Amino acid sequence: MSAQIPESHKDLIAGPVCATVSTTFEDGQPQSSVIWTKLDGDNIQFSVTTTRQKAKNMEATPKVSLLAMDPQNPYRYIEVRGAVSMTQDGAYDLIDELAKLYVNKDEYYGGVAPAEQKEKEQRVIVTLTPTKVYAHG
């Protein structure tokens, strides 16, 4: 069963509004991280490196909760719960696209992070397919 993000709150996912993604450790403890997001049809995409804890958590338990709050009105927000999938295909293109949207840098590596860091890490695209959406405000 999938859910849709309402038009009234798509701007919070399409960026440049930072969102928080929550994953769970194997023992059930939650872990939250601030991320950059974009809409991909009815899904949400973001980029992570495979060595980060959130990537390891999503690999073990591919269910997350994402929260994006309007920076001008904290009572207007959206929570999206669902399942995630990950792929390496296009991951570096996505992080560059997000860097342009969020911080106006043409490239993530060399613009936001040191250029040499690109050779030291592997990125993936995480696609969140919503199963529950709660939009407020």
Question: Cβ of 105: how many Cβ atoms within 10 Å?
Answer: 16
pLDDT tens, residue by residue, 5-50:
999 999 999 989 999 999 999 999 999 999 999 999 989 999 999 9
Determine whether domain 7-136 maps to CATH 2.30.110.10: yes
pLDDT tens, residue by residue, 52-103:
999 999 999 999 999 999 999 999 999 999 999 999 999 999 999 999 999 9
Say which residues have a Cβ less than 8 Å from residue 75's Cβ, sequence separation at least 6. Answer: 136, 137
User: Which residue ranges make up each domain of the chain?
Assistant: 7-136
pLDDT tens, residue by residue, 101-127:
999 999 999 999 999 999 999 999 999
For the beta sheet containing 38-40, the strands, ordered from the edge strand earlier in sequence to the opposite edge, are: 30-35, 19-24, 63-70, 73-87, 123-136, 43-49, 38-40
**pTM of the predicted protein model:** 0.94
Q: How far is residue 92's CA from residue 6's CA, in Å, rounded to a whole number?
A: 28
Q: Which segments of the chain does DSSP mark as H helices, in order?
A: 10-14, 53-60, 91-103
Q: Specify the 3-state DSSP secondary structure of 134.
A: strand
